[in-house]
């Protein structure tokens, strides 16, 4: 079963990621928040460091990685439904857990900069989730963004209107995509499109599109509340021709569970987003603990809350919320590494961590007083950055729907 201690083999990775947050990301965090859309050149060195660690076997990378998870399905499942029996080889701490632990550390420094590390995009998780071995080999060392959301689509991934029409050995894609993280900077964009609008979500597939493809046109870069170091793009696809071999996974339209392969992407990325939220929350808590200690306010974890200063009591409450989010995130990643279906747990982690991150960041702004609202500290920036972690990769409300469906054993049609 899961061990709550950081595995020994990941300790060097966690330390290096922590140093990256403290020594590289935090010093330039404000700079690239103000210089929105400017590429952080310091990240080229970071990328080279990650490549070196990966080549040496010391690291699985700092971003989205693959999964042994076989569990995404649109079929209803109750508590524990679809679970595999415990494997004979015992516990495995693999790429998912290492990615989650390293992302937590780098996001103590800056979430936007973490999302801007080359070749660590969310699209890489989509490739890892559903690509065949040949595709994984071909795209394994390239930076991939992920394009799902469309205008007027809302949070329903099954309502995608972008079309993919087979034409000989190619697919022709037409449509619009918005809110594509690292869309301008990435080398590849994983585009979700439907093979047949009349068949709904069953016909939705994902395609790897070269960023240089003339049919993939950058419409604009968004100006955002937070994570400004990370570019967020909108694209139009106009007769965008993609080789048939770049369709990820099974090209056939399945009447049962056909959407599961595409949705398995979220089982990989939602624990990562939860880890980002945990990292940002940890950064807030560490800094506010330090600031309160400077004025003589330190929590006593052995004393009742009502006998402590209000600020100390509030800090204890926030630490408890953080621990809950942290443990849920570790569980979701550990399950993926050990081959257990984790759709419900990934949504639990993402829902709890996203909400907790927002609560902690805003509470720390309040606890810091005037400095919490000023640009002299990072509290106000972290508060702005936090909200997106409760929204992207599925909003808070969508996560709660996923969890409810799994617990109650209902389909999406039965519980909307």
Q: Tens of pLDDT along 364-414?
A: 999 999 999 999 999 999 999 999 999 998 999 999 999 999 999 998 889
Q: Which of 256, 253, 261 is nearest to 197 (CA)?
A: 253
Instruction: Say what the pLDDT of residue 79 is.
Output: 30
What is the structure's pLDDT at 53? 53
Which residue ranges make up each domain of the chain? 1-141+255-416
> Going by C-beta distance under 8 Å and a sequence separation of 6 or more, which residues neighbour residue 90?
none
Are 288 and 262 spatial neighbours (Cβ–Cβ below 8 Å)?
Answer: no
Q: What is the pLDDT of residue 256?
A: 57
Look at residues 114, 135, 158, 119 and name the one whose alpha carbon lies nearest to residue 398: 158
CB atoms within 10 A of CB 328: 23
Radius of gyration of the chain (CA): 21
Give the CATH class of 1-141+255-416: mainly alpha
pLDDT tens digits, one per residue of 177-231: 999 999 999 999 999 999 999 888 889 999 999 999 999 999 999 999 999 999 9
Average pLDDT for the chain: 88
- Please tell me the least confidently modeled range out of 71-75, 128-132, 192-196, 297-301: 71-75
Residue with the two structure tokens 């509030």: 314
**What pLDDT band is residue 52 in, cutting at 50, 70 and 90?**
low
Torsion of CA 258, 261, 266, 268, to 10 degrees: 160
Give Cα separations from 261 to 3, 156, 160, 202, 411 (angstroms).
Answer: 29, 16, 15, 10, 17
Among 32, 59, 246, which Cα is nearest to 135's? 246
Q: What is the pLDDT of residues 233-266, one digit of tens each?
A: 999 999 999 999 999 988 888 755 556 556 777 8
Phi, psi of 242, rounded to the nearest 5 degrees: -125, 130
Asked about 38 being catalytic, the answer comes back as no
Mean pLDDT of the region 323-341? 95
116 and 40 Cβ atoms separated by less than 8 Å: yes
List, in sequence order, every residue forming a beta bridge with 194; answer none if it has no partner: 163, 204
The single residue of 74, 187, 380, 393 carrying the catalytic annotation is 393
What residue spans of 207-342 are helical by DSSP H? 260-294, 310-337
Instruction: State how far the Cα of 347 lies from the Cα of 194, in Å rounded to an integer.
Output: 24
**Percent helix, strand, coil in the chain (nearest 5)?**
50, 15, 35
Give 55's pLDDT tier (boundaries 50, 70, 90). Answer: low
Chain mean position to CA 383: 18
Inter-residue contact 110 to 29 (CB < 8 Å)? yes
Higher-scoring residue by pLDDT: 213, 126: 213
* For residue 35, pLDDT beyond 90: yes
Q: To the nearest whole percent, how much of the chain has pLDDT over 70?
A: 87
Q: Is the pLDDT of residue 83 over 70?
A: no
């Amino acid at each position: 079963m899961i061990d709550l201690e950081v595995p020994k083999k990941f300790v060097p990775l966690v330390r290096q990621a922590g140093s990256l947050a403290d020594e590289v990301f935090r010093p330039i965090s404000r700079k690239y928040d103000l210089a929105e859309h400017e590429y952080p050149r310091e990240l080229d060195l970071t990328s080279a460091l990650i490549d070196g660690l990966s080549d040496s076997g010391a690291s699985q990378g700092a971003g989205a990685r693959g999964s042994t998870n076989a569990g995404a399905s649109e079929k209803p499942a109750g508590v524990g439904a679809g679970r595999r029996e415990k494997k004979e080889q015992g516990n495995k701490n693999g790429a998912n857990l290492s990615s989650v632990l390293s992302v937590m550390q780098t996001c103590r420094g800056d979430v936007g900069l973490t999302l801007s590390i080359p070749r660590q995009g969310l699209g890489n998780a989509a490739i890892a989730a559903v690509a065949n071995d040949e595709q994984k080999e071909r795209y394994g060392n390239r930076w991939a963004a992920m394009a799902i959301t469309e205008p007027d689509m809302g949070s329903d991934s099954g309502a995608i209107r972008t079309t993919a029409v087979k034409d000989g050995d190619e697919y022709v894609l037409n449509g619009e995509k918005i809110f594509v993280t690292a869309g301008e900077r990435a080398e590849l964009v994983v585009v979700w499109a439907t093979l047949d609008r009349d068949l709904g979500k069953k016909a939705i597939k994902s395609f790897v599109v070269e960023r240089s493809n003339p049919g993939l046109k950058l419409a604009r870069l968004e100006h955002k509340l937070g994570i400004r170091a990370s570019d967020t793009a909108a694209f139009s696809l106009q007769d965008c021709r993609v080789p048939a071999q770049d369709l990820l996974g099974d090209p056939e339209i399945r009447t049962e569970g056909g959407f599961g392969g595409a949705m398995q992407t979220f089982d990989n990325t939602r624990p990562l987003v939860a880890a980002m939220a945990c990292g940002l929350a940890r950064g807030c808590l560490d800094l506010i603990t330090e600031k309160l200690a400077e004025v003589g306010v330190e929590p006593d974890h052995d004393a009742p809350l009502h006998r402590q200063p209000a600020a100390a009591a509030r800090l204890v409450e926030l630490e408890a919320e953080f621990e809950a989010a942290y443990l849920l995130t570790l569980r979701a990643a550990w399950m993926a590494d050990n081959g257990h279906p984790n759709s419900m747990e990934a949504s639990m982690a993402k829902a709890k961590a996203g909400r907790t991150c927002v609560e902690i960041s805003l509470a720390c702004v309040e606890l810091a007083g005037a400095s919490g609202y000023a640009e002299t500290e990072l509290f106000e920036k972290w508060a702005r950055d936090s909200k997106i972690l409760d929204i992207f990769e599925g909003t808070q409300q969508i996560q709660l729907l996923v969890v409810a469906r799994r617990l109650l054993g209902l389909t999406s049609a039965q519980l909307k």
